[in-house]
Amino acid sequence: MKFKTRLRSSFAVKSSPFLLGLVLFYYLGDAGPPPQNYGHAPTVVSFPLFYLCAFAYAAASALAAWESGSIRKFGVWHWAPQRSRYRIAAESLMPVVLVSWSMLVLPVSLALVETSTLPTLASLGPLFEAMVLCVAHAVIGFAVGLYLPRSVSAPVLAVTTWIVIAFTISLDPPWLRQISGLCFEYLMFGEALTFSALWPPILLAGGVALAVAVLWMKNRFVAIPVALAILLTGVVVSYNEVKDRGYFPPMATGVTELSCAQSTGGTEVCMPKVTASALPRVARTSQSVLADLRSAGVQRSPRLITDSLADGRYLRPSTDRVWRIPLTRAAAQNGERFQIVIAAVGFTCARPDPVLRRAVLEWVAGVTHTEREWQQAKARVEQERSSSDAAATSMVQGVHRKTKAQQAKWFEESVHASCRRGG
């Protein structure tokens, strides 16, 4: 049968308007690109896939079961050895695979166009994974349809596949969602899935599909042990890879192009290229803050001030030479100066002593002309003046009576002492 004729006669193609209509319905509802995606291609691609990949797998398995049920009904499967069973399966599954792929490519393409984002190789990894899994689920569904009536196998596979894949996000242990093939919901800016996050679901589902396909061989004495070996290998290897994982798959961070500007003193300031419209202003601000600190006797000479936005959800700590600051978010609120000041203080612990911390920040806010930002920051976390605040203010008043060199020495000692007393 010619390819065009097979497409016209395929139930998968006939059902494609309904399926693609549902895809559009989901996309226009919750599956569109998330707000504040910053044009980050992995984020734009991953979000619609999370909502629709399980739907595509379910459609692939159900449509394949329907096609194989038709083959069984008309006796085509038993034409071998006149025709290869693998050729029969491939010709029957081609329309199914194309329709299921369309269910994935359509929302991803719409999201990329809507956000004016160019796809990257890193962003397309989850899409390629989902497309391979559609093929695997189609093969599995085709095998089921050979033995069960299509009126039973197609709806059962549609519901079962969707439930098994989609509901793994609510199940423990958490590695179940990473081996099921459910696309990861939300990649933050700067993140991209690594290859180790993509291959375990492919190995599991692909191993089952390949084992099923091997059983179509005529020689059962060879087919059965080979199929069992493939099945066990896929299950064991994929499980061993994911069994110790938590809720998030392996991800690379910093997957974005940076724009950088050089400020006086050799400090480089970098922001993601897509958010770097404020970079000149941020570079001037960092230069001003460092100059104010030097005037107060405090020496800070970072090699790099970079935007922590590119770190994704796993924020890396700042060091003496590299300051990681939420520059994009701060610049949008004209608050980058105070964020640079906080990085310059350089607390080395998560919970410094509250009195010393407040005293240090109050003093450094004074010398860098960020008193208003400091007062606003305090107001966001407390409604009333606390005893720690009063003690810190009293301490700073005493510090101001010292010489500039003594104040700078007090500042450095208090930064270290706050972590010794706190935690």
pLDDT (tens digit per residue) in 332-372: 888 899 999 999 988 888 888 888 888 889 889 888 998 88
pLDDT the model gives residue 123: 93
Rounded to 5 degrees, what are φ and ψ at 262? -95, 125
Residues 14-36, mean pLDDT to the nearest whole number: 90
Q: By percentage, how much of the chain surpasses pLDDT 90?
A: 50
pLDDT (tens digit per residue) in 85-105: 888 888 889 999 999 999 999
User: Residues 185, 189, 191, 193: what is their CA dihedral angle, to the nearest 10 degrees?
Assistant: 30
Query: What is the pTM (predicted TM-score) of this model?
Result: 0.86
DSSP classification of residue 315: P
82 is written with which tokens? 């006149």
Is the predicted pLDDT of residue 133 greater than 50, yes or no? yes
Rounded to 5 degrees, what are φ and ψ at 362? -65, -40
At residue 5 the predicted structure's pLDDT band, cuts being 50, 70 and 90, is low
For residues 208 and 228, give the distance between their C-alpha atoms in angstroms, rounded to a whole number: 9
Region of 181 on the Ramachandran plot (φ > 0 left; ψ -120 to 50 alpha; else beta): left
Residue 341, C-beta contacts closer than 8 angstroms, at least 6 positions apart: 289, 364, 365, 368, 370, 373
pLDDT (tens digit per residue) in 160-205: 999 999 998 888 888 999 999 999 878 999 999 999 999 999 999 9
Rounded to 5 degrees, what are φ and ψ at 351? -135, 80
Helix (H, G, I), strand (E, B) or coil at 306: strand
For residues 231 and 236, give the distance between their C-alpha atoms in angstroms, rounded to a whole number: 9
Element (DSSP H or E) covering residue 257: none
Q: Give yes or no for a contact between 50 and 104, defined as CB atoms under 8 angstroms apart.
A: no
Q: Give yes or no for a contact between 106 and 20, defined as CB atoms under 8 angstroms apart.
A: yes
Residues 300-310, mean pLDDT to the nearest whole number: 91
Helix (H, G, I), strand (E, B) or coil at 164: helix
Is the predicted pLDDT of residue 387 greater than 80, yes or no? no
